[in-house]
Structure formats: structure tokens, C-alpha cells
A = this chain, B = another copy of it.
């Protein structure tokens, strides 16, 4: 276990380390093997003899060596980095998905960079351009609506892409999510079957929310229910969105039997506004949410909603991404996974 001393500034084992920390070369000198062997000992221990492995691990320990992934990635062309772009993180329905995604990726040694697009295609585009400089091994986007330049950049860059939280016929690459149109139609049919006839809708002006409500209105129209009052309020969706929304509806359109909301948050705002006006839910006013936040079942009265398994979406994204990376062929181009949804009927739409 001799140390070979030569020209380069060698970090003292117990003293000051050189700036930036020890390098492979330092470890290899201390362990008395070549730097390639150290590299192998760290990343492919099965091809290194037990004795050598011990020497290397000892040296790594001594020096507190931490491999420089930038250097490694530069050569190996694998950054072990995945970029995820979401409209928002704060108190959002995407949080579960993102957390599950990060967790699944972390278990395989991947790190996640998050970018917040604030529902803006332009911002998404800038973030994508910037992130491509890090040569991520994968990119996850929410939705299927992207600027032309974003599409082109992604196509050219040849990075595996997963579009999430939506469904369409021709994804950019891979797609994991569910159909917002189907959700809208399912809500319409569900509430119709429960006997509701006088509908109203409150949504924020987010493209997927609008599509859900639009599909619901279409379905209702097929059943001769037209002129359904509906509001598209500004992003972000907060409780006030629901409170203001209900207030406006009541003032301008009278009281509907049921209000369909584009998120549980809005629905809870509606519940709060109804409570403050002495309106009994569901008898005076039924309420339907979307997202099935953990709070939906716990508010009083409990809130009917549409359950989306954000965790499943996140895990599925990780899976399809890692599969693609592992096989290195783009055989899964065009892959679409529908994670579905469930309508959850609770007190807020229970007819007496």
C-alpha cells in the first residue's frame, strides 16, 4: 500500500484537501492501482477482484472521494439527469406525481431537475432550451401542447420525452396520462344518472380544465341540456376562485342543482361559500370536484371528485423513461399509457 509521490499536488490524507476534492487519480495512487481500475471498482465492482476492491474502497474512504459526475457524464454521454416541467408545484395536483416520479428515479440513481412553466408555452420553451444544455437523459412535460420550437428542439435533440397528464393520438414520443374529454363526459353521464338536470360549471382558464368542461357541456347537450352557465376564471385555482365563482353564478344565473368544478380546490371554495350563505350541500346545492386531493374525503360534507392516481402516473413515467434509456432503441416511440380515472361519489352529490 505504498503511496507514490510525484509531481502533482497530492492531497494529504489527514490534512487539507485540494480544492474540488480528491480525484480518481488521487485514489488510484493511494490504492496503488490504475485510475481505470478505480473507475471500475466504483461502477462495475463485479469485474474487479476482491482484494483490489478492498484497497480501492479503503482509499476512497481515506480521501472522502466523491466522483465528479460531470466528468463521467461527459465521456459516457449519460447525465443521469431527468428534467421535469410542470405548470406549478405549489399546492398542486401535480405534486404527488412529481414526488413519485422523483422517488422512482432517485432509486435508480437519477436526479431530477424541476422547471415551473406557469402554464406558459413560451416559458416552457425557454426552460427546455436551457435544460438541453445539460444533456438530460429524459424530459417530462405536462400536457401535449407545446410551441413549435419546443417540438423541434426536442425532436432534434433525440432525448426521450414523456408527455404526461393528458392523452392524444400523436404524442411527441411517449405519453402517460388520461383523457380529459373522457373525464368531462363521464362526469356528465354520472350526474345525469343521479337525476341532476340544472348544471353549472366553474373552471380556471387552464387548457385541460377547459377541455374537461367543454366535453361535459357537449355530452349534456346530447341529452338536451343546453345553456349551462359556466365560468372560466383566472389561474391559479384557489379557494377564492370557488367562492367568487359561486357568488357570480348565484347572482347571474340563479341556483343550479349541481356545480361542477375543474379542481377540488375550487370545489372546496364553493363549499365554503355555500356554508357561509347557509346553503346546505348537497340538498340546496351539489358540488363535484376534480383531482381527489387527500382532503376531498375529509372535508365536511365530503366532496365527490374524480380520482387520478398521481403516484401511478409518476411511477409509470419513470418506468417508461428508464426502459427506453436501458434498451437504447426507440422501439417505444409512440407508446401511450392510459392511467385512467375514477369518479368518486361522496356526500356532496348525494341526493336525498
A-side residues, CB < 8 A to B, are 17, 19-21, 64, 66-71, 73-74, 77, 79, 88-92, 95-96, 98-99, 102-103, 106, 109, 111-116, 127, 129-135, 153, 156-158, 238-240, 243, 265, 268-269, 271-273, 275-276, 293-295, 298-300
Contacts and interface: CB of A to CB of B under 8 A. Distances in A.
A17 to B, nearest CB: 7
A283 B20 CA distance: 62
Contacts of A156: 17, 21, 64
B239 A268 contact: no
A77 B239 contact: no
A111 B136 CA distance: 12
Contacts of A268: 295, 299
A111 B99 contact: no
A184 to B, nearest CB: 25
Given A95-B91, A293-B91, A74 B66 contact: no
A294 B91 contact: yes
Contacts of A96: 90
Given A91-B91, A114-B112, A300-B275, A74 B71 contact: yes
B116 A131 contact: no
B238 A294 contact: yes
Contacts of A157: 21, 66
Contact of A116 (B89, B99, B158): B99
Contacts of A131: 111
B79 A70 contact: yes
B89 A89 contact: yes
A304 B115 CA distance: 33
Contact of A102 (B102, B116, B153): B116
A294 B90 CA distance: 11
A295 B238 contact: yes
A89 to B, nearest CB: 5
Nearest to A72: B133
Given A156-B64, A293-B91, A239 B69 contact: no
Contacts of A300: 271-273, 275-276
11 contacts: A66-B157, A68-B74, A69-B134, A70-B135, A89-B98, A90-B99, A106-B116, A106-B127, A111-B115, A111-B134, A238-B298
